């Protein structure tokens, strides 16, 4: 019997889940799924909670029923390194048995068993875990220790609930700072590009590192400076032989296209004329289009034609500050892209898109 299939949306708005069965999905209609939403507020202010909605609750024009609520503070108490502070980015492992949740105001990464919603592991990797991305073979999770300016590796054994920070593998990005890399706080690593063991890692001050994640310590195999890649990228999609990386700040939005086989930058699209502070991305239409959210002064989603890598449309009535995006599954389920647990994937035939909208005084 197969288990639940899950995928992520991102900070605050977190996960959609599909359940595969022995009968083809197309014969049954759209597969069941769940939407997982994380409350980033501190536990003392009533936050640090996970809200889970069934897809059936979201099928109409209004929410039906109440969410299942998981108190992450209580669930993580006494487990590994204990509760984290300010849950930020939630993804799922390749087999969709566990959620992997990074806490951005501490260094904690929580591992949440999907079947019973229990926190079964907690690993503190240092100053600040901005995001933790599971590998496609479920062997490791790569963690952006943002203010520690390090890339960390956690060895993961989901079957036996064992999670170990391999500190000797840490990549000290702060030591690599120079004029082209003035602030090497890692933002969002994209795991296992080209089906291999390399990751694309954006940094806060601008630039990009392509990293061998299997080496100990991990090592840089190619780099780009801020003159080529603008600061603060946090969107990444791997599709076929392409890698899409974004950059977003109050004054800009940019999209970069790389050849996944050679790591060569093949195209740069300035999307600043459409808006600023680009963040979340999602593939739609079986990979035909890439949605790019502007949460700055555009308040829109720019639609990219992936065949030509050009702007095809702009969706304007999407709410204030669209942050991270995901889609409900269609009758064909969810398309497999890398990493399998990415917050930015696609669901062919899906009719629901979920978009997180930060409040005016958002915490992250």
Instruction: List pLDDT tens digits, range 322-359.
Output: 777 766 665 444 444 444 444 444 443 466 778 777 76
Q: Which pair of tokens denotes residue 217?
A: 């310590």
In sign, the C-alpha dihedral spanning 160, 163, 168, 173 is: positive
Which neighbouring-strand residues pair with 201? 189, 209
Judge contact between 108 and 91, C-beta under 8 A.
Answer: no
Instruction: List pLDDT tens digits, range 270-305.
Output: 999 999 998 888 888 778 889 998 988 889 999 999
Which DSSP symbol is given to 96? S
In Å, how far are 5, 100, 132, 265 from 90, measured between CA atoms? Answer: 14, 6, 8, 29
Judge contact between 94 and 134, C-beta under 8 A.
Answer: yes
Out of 2.130.10.10, 3.10.180.10, 1.10.10.10, 3.90.550.10, the CATH code matching 5-355 is 2.130.10.10
In terms of pTM, does the model score above 0.85? yes
Query: pLDDT band for position 28 (50/70/90)?
Result: very low
Q: What's the confidence (pLDDT) of residue 359?
A: 67
Instruction: List pLDDT tens digits, range 150-198.
Output: 999 999 999 999 999 999 999 999 999 999 999 999 988 877 786 668 9
The domain limits of the chain are 5-355
Rounded distance, CA 291 to CA 40, Å? 25
């Amino acid at each position: 019997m197969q288990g639940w299939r899950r995928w992520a949306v991102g900070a605050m708005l977190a996960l959609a889940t599909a359940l595969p069965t022995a009968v083809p999905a197309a014969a049954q209609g759209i597969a069941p799924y769940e939407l997982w939403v994380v409350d980033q507020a501190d536990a003392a202010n009533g936050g640090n909670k996970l809200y889970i909605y069934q897809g059936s609750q979201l099928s109409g024009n209004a929410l039906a029923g109440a969410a299942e609520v998981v108190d992450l503070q209580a669930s993580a108490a006494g487990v590994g390194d204990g509760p984290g502070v300010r849950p930020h980015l939630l993804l799922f492992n390749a087999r969709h048995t566990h959620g992997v949740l990074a806490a951005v105001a501490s260094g904690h990464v929580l591992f949440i068993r999907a079947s019973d919603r229990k926190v079964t592991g907690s690993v503190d990797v240092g100053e600040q875990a901005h995001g933790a991305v599971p590998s496609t073979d479920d062997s490791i999770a790569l963690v952006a220790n943002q203010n520690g300016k390090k890339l960390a590796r956690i060895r993961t054994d989901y079957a036996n609930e064992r999670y170990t920070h391999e500190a000797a593998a840490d990549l000290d990005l702060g030591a690599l700072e120079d004029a082209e890399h003035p602030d090497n706080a890692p933002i969002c690593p994209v795991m296992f590009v080209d089906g291999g063991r390399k990751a694309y890692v954006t940094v806060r001050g601008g630039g990009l590192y392509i990293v061998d994640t299997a080496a100990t310590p991990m090592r840089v195999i190619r780099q780009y400076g801020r003159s080529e890649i603008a600061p603060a990228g946090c969107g990444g999609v791997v599709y076929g032989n392409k890698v899409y990386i974004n950059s977003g700040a109050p004054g800009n939005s940019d999209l970069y296209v790389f050849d996944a086989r050679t790591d060569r930058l093949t195209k740069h699209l300035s999307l600043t004329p459409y808006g600023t502070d680009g963040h979340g991305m999602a593939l739609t239409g079986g990979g035909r289009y890439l949605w790019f959210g502007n949460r700055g002064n555009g308040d829109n989603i720019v639609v990219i034609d992936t065949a030509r890598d050009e702007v095809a449309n702009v969706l304007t009535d999407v709410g204030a500050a669209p942050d991270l995006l995901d889609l409900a599954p269609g009758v064909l389920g969810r398309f497999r892209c890398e990493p399998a647990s990415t917050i930015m994937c696609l669901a062919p035939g899906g009719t629901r898109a979920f978009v997180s909208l930060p409040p005016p005084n958002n915490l992250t």
